[in-house]
Structure 1
């Protein structure tokens, strides 16, 4: 018999199976030997393929993955394919631990497994939980399970929003408190930590002093989540460009200080909702990300809705990304400089504007269908029409000289998701 789960119910099922730590830690010791450790194992997987008709850039779900659909390969399995395994142990009525390994295509290590979660949890009371180690960043509606394709209604989370913050975990600690307000249940989380991930094969992205607050409210069929985060962000990319700009005196130094991403205060704020009465669902999120650098200040959002008929769920999705700053600047004034210096200055200006053009100004309209063909298995087919606005390379990577913004790119994706 096939079971068709709503996004909310699929998420609950997947998170229950995969993280299990909260459930196990809060579970009374009755029924098991007092003091005996209890183990739980699970996992998830996605086998997918994506095809892009854009032959001058690669489509990717986030900038930490090479993607490789489009310019590199017409069809690519690296955009969505991944597998994760998890082991959890409950030590007693208060203490538990979870380790989750994830294998997906990365910029540096191919499909080598990485530690996505590894934390120790203390259930101080039925409502108060503390964790320490590598923990989930509760930034988005799907922040706790964004890698678990089975828990999502779509093939992948909207790239405009979720690709803007590709980090899914941090090394640190968090505090979660459950509380009731009338008919509404709330979960408030405070978190602090750091993150260090490869941004390119030769550079890393580092976030220090990563601190935030998240609150999830559930009242009947409605769920709301609001999150805020700040961090000192550094990404060692284009150092030669910024070093070159500093050779041009005060004007070059001002440009380098403004756009280089070195220990900049980055801020993220998101607000999302899900309404799921059963036969249909609607959900959406909006966020603002400001890195005070060439990564930009941008507003990103999406809306999605779907309808369930037996084991089929057709859905629609629309997402946007808009910069809140200029994505092209005059740069260095080279009019009065010697010919050679002027030539190098123009090249530096061009390099800076190429970085700014990567701040997405983009719209995506998508449609798809999910088929829950078997318990714990879902097959999805999705079509996306991606439109990078004039002057922007959108969310595409590996952009070639022949790339033309203002022209739509079609991406077709098919995936098989499972949890076990």
Structure 2
């Protein structure tokens, strides 16, 4: 856990990675399987791997887990394909004998692996897939989710958007689980916060197939004063460029999931939008000893600044470590029970997996975009604790299948 590793974040800690106690080196490793969209979403996936590997190195340098066993981290590229991800899961469990599976990025890929985990009774910690159905409509006892869901992040944004004065809204989102569920949650939550708002247009480009000219023309024609954007990656870049050229964002409230994350904001360079209300990761401006230690260790290990993927990967392995220590075993059922209600320390503070739906309370930063020295950053931000933006137990019971 972070408290245990706080003294191991300086460069000296890394010299111990291959030199921790001989007994721990000789012990059989605890194998953790992982998958991510390295060839499809490298901007997130590679930093996620770096963050996970950093945590593993620190854990092993501090003596490993379960009385001295090192963690072995084995990761694969799912290529953004659900079928490929399921094949990887089978290979990691059957051939590599991993004790659990972590990772994932795209929601439809994560949902396919969650279904596999449920059928095969294998433990899956979905690090990134954000679709609400991961833990609700398609939830199962063997799937846990780390990151704040689309519902949670939409709730954070809706609270502020309701006070913007915008009444006439349009949405644009990729046409798959993550996009659909984000739009549904935002519409519901914004209307609850301000019953006077109306949604008059919805645009659904295919994932990574956006026709930005057509989408921007449609949104301009809708004559709205608020836009909720859920596009990301290359789709976001095309949307921002075309929208700026055609004046779409002028005098409008633009609310955008994930756009404040360096993974997506930095590639926009001087085309980054200004004044958008976003969720993101202002790592450069967070003043907290635990987070500072993480950033310093990450920079020293990898020679680059962290992204949101970095801290997600890091937190994933801290959760794995905490589950193993709580379970006192690598047995699947023991680990599953240990994950229910598990609390662990992280650079973002304590995080808990709720027993009712296996969703963690990991929060998110909310702020506005600003262009500084030719690059987009997040300003006027605040950290929102995920525990404050989860639906009630009664709502979860209605949405999650009985176990």
| TM-score normalised by length of structure 1 | 0.25
Which structure's residues are more often strand, by fraction? 1
Which structure's residues are more often helix, by fraction? 2
Higher relative contact order (CA 8 A, sep 6+): 2
